[in-house]
Amino acid sequence: MCNVNRRSALGLAVTAVAVSPAVLMPAGAAEQRYRPDAGEQLAPGVRRVQLSKRKSEIAAYPAVVMVDVVFQPKSKYANPSMASDMVCHCLEGELAIDQGDGMQFIAKANDVWSCRKGMPETTENRGDTVGIMRVISLTA
């Protein structure tokens, strides 16, 4: 056992006082990226927020469009036919993706996948937190 003198006891007391507020204060709620009414409603609890549109340098596509699709907990959106080729990225949360014909998977934060024009996709947020899918569409 080590000896405790006045100096080490004072240091321990100062450390305990400094750490106490951080330990005792409740954690704040995580800030949401979007308001629940941001963008355009696609389905109950599902909203599309347009972020950017720019001329494309890829010959087959005149424009590139970036949007976020925000899924509130327990919401679902079925798109029977993609309007363009696109690359999707799960920005937050977890999303159940069903592209038909045995192509089902769970997209977790930072997962990326692609969709071709005309392909179906149903996306569902089965979780208790907001899910965000970032979509970069290559428009024809």
Q: What is the pLDDT of residues 102-114, one digit of tens each?
A: 899 999 999 999 9
Q: Is residue 10 part of a domain?
A: no
Supply the range of the domain harboring residue 90. 40-139
Q: Around Cβ 58, how many Cβ atoms within 10 Å?
A: 10
| pLDDT reported for residue 44 | 96
Residues 6+ apart with CB under 8 A from 58: 64, 138
Q: Is residue 64 part of a domain?
A: yes
Q: Is residue 119 part of a domain?
A: yes
| pLDDT reported for residue 123 | 98
- Asked whether 126 and 104 are in contact (CB, 8 A), the reply is no
Q: Is residue 130 part of a domain?
A: yes
Q: Is residue 14 part of a domain?
A: no
Q: What is the DSSP string of 31-48?
A: PPSS-TT-SEEEETTEEE
The mean of the pLDDT values for the chain is: 85
Q: What is the pLDDT of residues 4-38, one digit of tens each?
A: 665 555 454 544 444 444 444 444 455 678 888 89
CATH number where 93 lies: 2.60.120.10
Q: What is the pLDDT of residues 33-61, one digit of tens each?
A: 888 889 999 999 999 999 999 999 999 99
How many domains would you assign to the chain?
A: 1
Beta bridge partners of 95: 107
Mean pLDDT within 127-132: 95
Quote the CA–CA distance of 75 and 43 in Å, as a whole number.
8
